[in-house]
Amino acid sequence: MEDEIRRLNDLKTLMELQVEGLDDFQETQARVRQALTDRSWNDLEKALRALEFKAEGLRCLEERRDAAWNRLCANLSVDPLPVYRVFPHLNSPWRETISVLHRTLKIKALQLKGFTQGLNAYLQTASGMIRAVVDHADPGQKGRLYSKNGSLKTSGVRALVLDRHL
């Protein structure tokens, strides 16, 4: 019984750390978005490094939480998946605590996924728009030119776009 309580405490602690880590990760993603909006490239670089560090930390926490969950399920002689079939095997106060933390983790993960997809859509739109403007303003940048032997060739004459509406 004492071993089970220790395992549950470990799992609870890891899940709480994951919730905090996901919140922190999302705040750092907001810093990335703000740096992009402000065109503050130094802040962007710092935020991206912080994201990389935090992603590694979250990966390690997830591995530890998964291992703790599997040990707990093995101790209870229950299949670890699906998660909701394990809850009835837990004692009453732990059942509610672990299920609330599990739901919180799922919600945080979905929020983070939505935020990440929104940031990705913004970046793809912005880069596509920039590429379209560059292609229109300087058609010579559209593609690479190759010689007959396959090596990269630079054109001596650069394309020029004239605006005749002036």
Mean of the per-residue pLDDT values for the chain? Answer: 87
Task: Say whether pLDDT at 141 is over 80.
Answer: no
Q: In this structure, what token pair is assigned to residue 89? A: 């095997």
**b/e string for 44-76 if b means 16 or more Cβ within 10 A?**
beebeebeeebeeebeebeebbeebbeebbeee
Q: What is the DSSP string of 77-120?
A: T----SGGGTGGGS-HHHHHHHHHHHHHHHHHHHHHHHHHHHHH
Domain ranges of the chain: 2-115
pLDDT of 92 reads 87
What confidence tens digit (pLDDT) does each residue in 145-162 have? 667 777 776 666 565 566
pTM summary value: 0.74
- Residue 54 CA to residue 22 CA, distance in Å, equals 9
Amino acid at 81: L
Q: Identify which has the larger pLDDT, 166 or 9.
A: 9
What confidence tens digit (pLDDT) does each residue in 79-137 have? 988 888 999 999 889 999 999 999 999 999 999 999 999 989 988 998 888 878 777 77
pLDDT of 1 reads 74
Q: 2-115: which CATH number, 1.10.3470, 1.10.287, 3.40.50, 1.20.58?
A: 1.20.58
Amino acid at 57: G
What confidence tens digit (pLDDT) does each residue in 42-78 have? 999 999 999 999 999 999 999 999 999 999 999 889 9
